[in-house]
Structure 1
Amino acid sequence: MKPKPSMVVLRSLLFAFDIENTKSEEREKIIVSKDVNDDRELAELFDLLLKPDFLVYRPDERQWFVDTILYYLEVGENFDEVFTRVDTYFNDEVKDQRRFMKVLLDRLKCYQLEDDGV
């Protein structure tokens, strides 16, 4: 049975950037050094900090993240529920939350392909 889309799962995915996730000062510096409103810099940020965590998940869990983002993009979700509940180290407010999630989706798909050896 395929799990239903959930905003909670998206918030957990973005925990890598949350203030409550105090792993290291170096990680915090990386986060604040990137412009989260620039697609290229946002992709670099995901590659540096999110990719290693994402690849730890089982393939079915990874697909759940991808399917969840796809579902909410398709239904026109603005992702306020995610961004108002995650307090990040980002220097700037995310101006276009849907664009942010599209960049995230693209990177997650790339990670899956890389891990599958494609």
Structure 2
Amino acid sequence: MEIIRGLLFTYDIENTDNLEREKLISSKDPNNEKELIEIFDALTKPEFLAYTALEQKWFISSIKHYLSKNDNFDAIFKAMATYFSSPITHQQSFMQTLLSRLKKYNKQKNKTQLTIY
């Protein structure tokens, strides 16, 4: 779970170097899929795409694994305070949305790489 928590460090209050990012996060409802997608696309996508293909696959596989076990992700969210203005009450939905976005970013990256070559 630590690897997943590392991916979500962008949203953690321990990550204090960007006031604009903090304001953006606090303006979003983490329990609203549309708003989550917006913030994942703005903040998580660039970070995720900077990882190697193997690392990206590892993130996707890890989240899929824990979702398939019906994990509640308390190990991540109880150890992390976020900039979101409300608590993440639907942790599995949050992670399912994250997973779908990571898959989309990975697919887009692979498609782009294929057209370059």
TM-score normalised over the length of structure 2: 0.93
Match of 1:108 in 2: 102
Does 1:81 pair with 2:60?
A: no
Name the % identity.
46
Higher helix share: 2
In the alignment, is the contact (CA less than 8 A) between 1:14 and 1:86 conserved in 2? no
Cα distance in structure 1, aligned partners of 2:97 and 2:17: 24
Q: What is the root-mean-square deviation in Å for CA atoms of aligned residues?
A: 0.9
Structure 2 gaps of 5+ residues are 113-117
Q: Which 4+ runs in 1 deviate beyond 4 A?
A: none
- SS of 1:61's equivalent in the other structure is helix
Does 1:27 pair with 2:21?
A: yes
Read off the aligned partner of 2:90 and give its amino acid letter. D
Read off the aligned partner of 1:26 and give its amino acid letter. E
Cα distance in structure 2, aligned partners of 1:31 and 1:61: 25
Cα distance in structure 2, aligned partners of 1:23 and 1:112: 27
Given the alignment, which residue of 1, 9, 14 partners 2:8?
14
Cα distance in structure 2, aligned partners of 1:24 and 1:80: 26
* C-alpha deviation, 1:98, in angstroms: 0.3
TM-score normalised over the length of structure 1: 0.92
Read off the aligned partner of 1:8 and give its amino acid letter. E
* C-alpha deviation, 1:23, in angstroms: 2.3
How many residues get paired?
112
Read off the aligned partner of 1:113 and give its amino acid letter. K
